Structure 1
Amino acid sequence: GVTFVSWTQLITQWFDHRRGMALAIVLCGSGVAAALLPPGISWAVERWGWWAGFLVMGLPGLVLTLPLAWFYLKEGPGPWRALAASATKTAPDEALAQQPSDFSRHVRSRKFWIMNVSLTLVVSAVVGMVTNTVPLLRDMGLSATQAGTVFSSFGAALIAGRLVVGWLIDRFWAPGVAAFARALPSVGCAILAGADVQTPAALLSAAVALVGVGAGAEFDIAAYLIARYFGLRDYGRLFGIQLGLVTAGSVIGPVAFAAMYKFTGNYASLLSYCIGSCIVGPLLLLSLGRQPARSVPGV
């Protein structure tokens, strides 16, 4: 629950002009772990038993992440600290504490809630697709092996989409890039809605990949937009609220989708929701307007 907030806050403190790519690279770690851990866990369980799977999941964090974080992760200098210190003639940390918080104003702002609603709509749709794509493909008539092969394009597209979008938001209007990337799952869902067992596997894989690109353009863009539009003074609280709302949506979504399938007996309503959410959500971002200028030259 704290992973995205803590890691992205450090990245936003240390990077300004290349913040999008920095966030993308760091958040790709979850995609790499998702690709490497399952085979490793399966191998350990088959060789030593169920308890070995928990060791494979826990040991990397204990022997790699914890020491690296302890020795190398430090709070960034952050231009807001330097500006506060210059204005108050005090040490940066003390000056930062003296700065008035705009949290109440930010949390009531229209732009903050546009970001929240947009991300929640897209995440609820993407999470629904992640949990239902293989059953959908099986329902279409594909074998378990064929469905798994088609779905394998999701992970690679997620990582590639995250890196490409990170590069783009450093150079172009971030809400526009975000809207385009987050709208791609609607195209993928539309393809799946019209597909059947005769549809070429390459086209099905492309549809799933479009959903993956949208999934890769979620949290790094969310972190970028919060930092760019509201600054870093209240970043942790604002991004924490946003992630809380998004998590609630991602929990409710699969339950609602299961109810839809039980009621209708097919995936048409699920796909219709995903198409609509991945059109409306991205369009909302286009109303954010010009993003504030970067604070100071830097990395």
Structure 2
Amino acid sequence: MNDFQKIRVVFGAFVTTSASAIAVMSYSFAAMAPDIQREFGWGRGYASLAITMLSFGTFIACTGGGKVADKFGTMIVSIVSAILCGLVVTGMPWIINSIFTFCICYAFIGILGVGMLPVTLLRPIGRLFNTRRGLATGAVLSGTGVSAIFIPFMTNALVERGGWHLAYIGLSLLIFCNIPVLWLSLRHYAREERLVLHHVALSQWGCVTQGLTLKEARRTATLWKLTAVALLAGTCFAGIVVHLMLAYRDMGASPAHASTLLAVIGFSAIVGRLFTGMLLDRINGPKLGFLVLLMASGGFAVTLAFGLDGAFLGAVLIGLGYGSEYDIIAYFVGRYFGVLEFGAIYGWLYGFLALGNSIGPLLVGMSYDYGGNYYFALGVATSLICIAAGVTLALGEYRYAVSEPS
């Protein structure tokens, strides 16, 4: 593939990451939660079960989803995922009538939405890029920062105009928009990928045949260290960030001010992911991961210590570190395990990120219901992210270093 076609793959993956079903449902939740709670009489921790089920569904599907993408190809899996998730979200205003149906819908989206996650979308990046893989990975994953900026504002506008029912309809249309984007950006890659899937012209893909299988990777200490980082970071980041709009409002911020602070996190996440990606190609990855995670921990600490007075600085620091675990782990999969079974191995690690995402919001919601504030949760998150940073520093040297131009 030529450079223009590679850039188009990166752009399409970036757009789909920005509007993936799981990102849309995660970042819209806080804006819709108050209306849904009032209508059904649920507590905040009770309503947070939906986000838990969303992430638990992702956890269940991740490794299998990565294997399916390895077998059938990125474009087909991603487009089918967008169609199915869009249909589920379209029907939610008529399906939701209890906490059970509410959670089941989110769980199905978590399972079906794996095709629009980095588990699937980063497979082409691992195969098409070598020397600039970190930058390409950061560019794709910065899409979640875009989600954090525009989805809360979009959801607030829809809720104000027509309530949470209209919000789900609008969000489903956004998910359906991924279908033409995926086809236009991945069709050339899909043609070459089919050759690889049928064991033809493997040499054209360079390092595609290099690497460990998931079974072999499980025998290494590196995979289990990365698993610990994924679980700790996923739990803390998801648990706190999902509740941040509500936390800011409890501190005295207006809905608009709280949305602005979330937008600051989103913008900072875009900047942080791009710079993290560029630096991963140039400096020691474990040391960079250590510094980035410490920065996020500092953001939690500032928010805990200074409340709304330190919220802007805290949001910047959280944003610069937020999501870095996805960039760093995705990059490390290629460097420590190769790309032979990238989808399966990254799916394993992404599954533990998703497991953390599933239990984090629930634990933080329960902490709020018990203590009436988010102070304890912020303190615990600060400590656990520091531990994750220390584990990252202990990963050691790459097994598959940069050796050829992309």
TM range (shorter): 0.7 to 0.9
Preserved contact between residue 150 and residue 263 of structure 2 (Cα < 8 Å): no
SS in 2 for 1:225: helix
What corresponds to 1:285 in structure 2?
392
Provide the rounded CA distance (Å) in 1 between the counterparts of 2:211 and 2:392.
28
SS in 2 for 1:126: helix
- Report the CA distance shift for 1:136/1:91 in structure 2 as closer, same or farther (over 3 A): closer
Preserved contact between residue 126 and residue 215 of structure 1 (Cα < 8 Å): yes
TM-score of the pair, normalised by structure 2: 0.62
Provide the rounded CA distance (Å) in 1 between the counterparts of 2:385 and 2:350.
18
- Report the CA distance shift for 1:65/1:113 in structure 2 as closer, same or farther (over 3 A): same
Preserved contact between residue 333 and residue 346 of structure 2 (Cα < 8 Å): yes
1:215 equivalent in alignment to 2:318: no
Aligned ranges 1:71-150 → 2 under 5 Å = 71-73=188-190, 92=202, 102-150=213-261
Provide the rounded CA distance (Å) in 2 between the counterparts of 1:222 and 1:241.
11
1:157 equivalent in alignment to 2:279: no
1:56 equivalent in alignment to 2:173: yes
TM-score of the pair, normalised by structure 1: 0.83
Preserved contact between residue 37 and residue 57 of structure 1 (Cα < 8 Å): no
Provide the rounded CA distance (Å) in 2 between the counterparts of 1:52 and 1:261.
30
Q: Which amino acid aligns with 1:164?
A: F
Provide the rounded CA distance (Å) in 1 between the counterparts of 2:211 and 2:398.
22
Q: How far is 1:231 from its partner?
A: 0.9
What corresponds to 1:275 in structure 2?
382
What corresponds to 1:15 in structure 2?
129
Q: Which amino acid aligns with 1:53?
A: G
- Offset from partner CA, 1:81-140 (integer Å, 9 cap, x none): 9xxx9xxxx9528xx999996432311211101011112211211111212222222222
Q: How far is 1:156 from its partner?
A: 0.3
Q: Which amino acid aligns with 2:338?
A: G
Would you say how many aligned residue pairs link Structure 1 and Structure 2?
A: 282
Q: CA RMSD in A?
A: 3.0
Provide the rounded CA distance (Å) in 1 between the counterparts of 2:405 and 2:305.
48
The more displaced of 108-117 and 22-31 is 22-31
Q: Which amino acid aligns with 1:58?
A: I
Greater share of helix residues, 1 or 2? 2
- Offset from partner CA, 1:66-88 (integer Å, 9 cap, x none): 23322444557xxxx9xxx9xxx
Indicate which of 108, 115, 119 corresponds to 1:5. Answer: 119
SS in 2 for 1:152: helix
Provide the rounded CA distance (Å) in 1 between the counterparts of 2:238 and 2:180.
31
Where structure 2 has 5 or more consecutive residues not aligned to the other structure, the ranges are 1-113
Q: Which amino acid aligns with 1:226?
A: V
Q: How far is 1:223 from its partner?
A: 0.7
1:28 equivalent in alignment to 2:148: no
- Report the CA distance shift for 1:295/1:74 in structure 2 as closer, same or farther (over 3 A): farther
Provide the rounded CA distance (Å) in 1 between the counterparts of 2:145 and 2:123.
19
Aligned ranges 1:140-219 → 2 under 5 Å = 140-196=251-307, 199=309, 203-219=310-326
The more displaced of 237-246 and 284-293 is 284-293
What corresponds to 2:10 in structure 1?
none
In percent, how many aligned pairs have the same letter? 26
Provide the rounded CA distance (Å) in 2 between the counterparts of 1:233 and 1:104.
12
Q: Which amino acid aligns with 2:391?
A: L
Q: How far is 1:260 from its partner?
A: 1.4
- Report the CA distance shift for 1:98/1:229 in structure 2 as closer, same or farther (over 3 A): closer
Preserved contact between residue 233 and residue 353 of structure 2 (Cα < 8 Å): no
What corresponds to 2:102 in structure 1?
none
Q: Which amino acid aligns with 1:248?
A: L
Aligned ranges 1:34-53 → 2 under 5 Å = 34-36=148-150, 46=161, 50=166, 53=170
Preserved contact between residue 210 and residue 338 of structure 2 (Cα < 8 Å): no
Q: Which amino acid aligns with 2:247?
A: L
Q: How far is 1:158 from its partner?
A: 0.7
- Report the CA distance shift for 1:295/1:163 in structure 2 as closer, same or farther (over 3 A): closer
The more displaced of 229-238 and 188-197 is 188-197
Preserved contact between residue 10 and residue 75 of structure 1 (Cα < 8 Å): no
- Offset from partner CA, 1:149-171 (integer Å, 9 cap, x none): 33321110110000010011100
Preserved contact between residue 212 and residue 338 of structure 2 (Cα < 8 Å): no
The more displaced of 36-45 and 125-134 is 36-45
Preserved contact between residue 149 and residue 262 of structure 2 (Cα < 8 Å): no
Preserved contact between residue 240 and residue 360 of structure 2 (Cα < 8 Å): no
Preserved contact between residue 189 and residue 275 of structure 1 (Cα < 8 Å): yes
Q: How far is 1:10 from its partner?
A: 0.9
Q: How far is 1:296 from its partner?
A: 3.1
